[in-house]
Amino acid sequence: MADVAASTGLHTNTARFHLDGLVDAGLVDRTTEARDQPGRPRALYIARPGSARGGQRSYRLLAEILTSYLASQSDRPAASAVEAGEAWGRFLADRPAPYRRVDEATATQRLVAALEEIGFAPEAVGTGSSSTERQILLHHCPFREVAEEHRDIVCGVHLGLMRGVLAEQSAPVAAERLEPFVEPNLCIAHLRTGTKGAGAKGNSGKGAGAKGNSGKGAGTERPGSRPASTARRHAS
């Protein structure tokens, strides 16, 4: 794993994530190093013979087909996207042990780690416009091309992912809203602290941040000027 991380420039945790994905896909076998010296044995990854599957991949086209279908067929596409994202956020989150309380700082760190694994290049920057607001700057959108065509849905999924990760930890912090593309390479996630056990606002579309039955908004905002507090930080 260290060799893969070094050759690709990825963090070892990110390399492990992708290698484990290849294991799940049946393309790679994972074994444990046999060693007679002190120390923890390494995990070794070996490609399965004949596992390479050539040919073109068109995942972006598939994503565009699915998002456009949801946009045209659902009465509340953005809210449905938030719900789907929340379900997957819960699945991807590391659930704490029973009766173990997760504080605000730990929950935020775990959210940042999850966003990093997906490819958002997140940066937690502390307080926003009030003492109970926190912000995570997102310097890269791994769904960018599809988000430019179907922003409400893709950004709704992203918001739901964050809510699901936080909800699974029952931490006193919630993902309140997402500002997409305040700059060409920057989105801002707004977190609210002091929300007891509220990583997400319920399981229904309306509770998930959607504004009304149409699902428009879903806790996301249209592009606009950056908040003054964030602009000042980056201007300095």
Domains of the chain in start order, with CATH, are 2-47 (no CATH), 59-235 (3.30.1380.20)
Lowest mean pLDDT among 44-53, 152-161, 175-184: 44-53
pTM of the model: 0.62
The strand ranges marked E within 33-155 are 43-47, 122-127, 133-138
Count Cα neighbours of 54 within 13 Å in the Cβ-side half-sphere: 1
Residue 108 and residue 195 in contact, taking contact as beta carbons nearer than 8 Å: no
Cα(206)–Cα(218) distance, rounded to whole angstroms? 8
Residue 89 and residue 162 in contact, taking contact as beta carbons nearer than 8 Å: yes
Picking from 207, 197, 23, the residue whose alpha carbon sits closest to that of residue 96 is: 197
Question: Above 60 in pLDDT, residue 231?
Answer: no
Q: What is the predicted pLDDT for the residue at 18?
A: 83
Q: What is the predicted pLDDT for the residue at 33?
A: 79
Q: What is the predicted pLDDT for the residue at 232?
A: 38
Cα(151)–Cα(144) distance, rounded to whole angstroms? 9
What is the average pLDDT across 36-46? 79
What is the average pLDDT across 10-30? 82
89 — pLDDT class (breaks 50, 70, 90): very high
Q: What is the pLDDT of residues 128-144, one digit of tens each?
A: 566 788 999 999 999 99
Cα(170)–Cα(195) distance, rounded to whole angstroms? 10
Question: CA–CA distance from 82 to each of 157, 207, 217 (Å)?
Answer: 5, 10, 10
